[in-house]
Amino acid sequence: MKTLVFLLSFGSLNACGINSINPPKENVMQQSTIVDLVKKNDISAVKSAFGNGANINYQDKNGRSLLLIATINKQLEMVKLLVSYKADVNLQDHQSDSAFLYAGASGQTELVKLFLKNGARFDIFNRYNGTALIPACERGHVETVKVLVSTKGFPVNHVNRLGWTALMEAVILGNGGKKYQEIVSILKENGADLSIPDKEGKIPLQHAKDLGFKEIVEILTS
């Protein structure tokens, strides 16, 4: 008798949807499929998927959003489509990458501009607790640096977990060449604090001298 009551109760709960903690298999499959569609850059199929209720902010097993996947793959039109559906440009994966942070680090200036217009936040940081600007400077992405430092409210002097600012990374991790000279000039002209030291107490000028970057030394002292 007790068994019968339990089964009846279970059936009643299930009928009310209380047992639907896990999404239906077909829904999981649909969400998984849209990742493949984005990777294949199938614009039409992705539109259709959203029309059928697919989650614009779905994340794969690594926490990568559809927008981050498209950004990594440099799929400009797909990115534009996803943004038009209000994809979250700040959603981070398990490595703390977001579409905005990744676009900055990889020098995808057009996407950086697009994300800035669609809610990019400056208080969300990468795994080094850095901004989009810091790796852009490290990797010599001049045009991306120009866009970011000229954006109102962008934290040009943010210090990451290593104790480095964007200026510090441009000096220490650059090669002293022309694009790094230009980046140092851009940073200086846009409010970079030349006196912020690293964890050892050395400022960018001291590092530039130690590395023999004469042109950068000149920029920093002029």
3-state class of 97 per DSSP?
coil
Condensed to tens digits (0 to 9), the pLDDT of residues 22-32 reads: 444 444 445 66
pTM, to two decimals: 0.85
Per-position DSSP letters for 139-190, written without gaps between them: TT-HHHHHHHHTSTT--TT---TTS--HHHHHHHSS-SSHHHHHHHHHHHHT
The CATH number of domain 130-222, selected from 1.10.1520.10, 3.40.50.280, 1.25.40.20, 2.40.30.10: 1.25.40.20
pLDDT score for 22: 47
Mean of the per-residue pLDDT values for the chain? 89
Band of pLDDT at residue 16, cut at 50, 70 and 90: very low
Domain chopping of the chain, boundaries: 130-222
Q: What is the predicted pLDDT for the residue at 2?
A: 41
- Residue-wise pLDDT tens digits, 68-115: 999 999 999 999 999 999 999 999 999 999 999 999 999 999 999 999
Quote the pLDDT of residue 169.
98
Asked if residue 182 has pLDDT above 60, the reply is yes
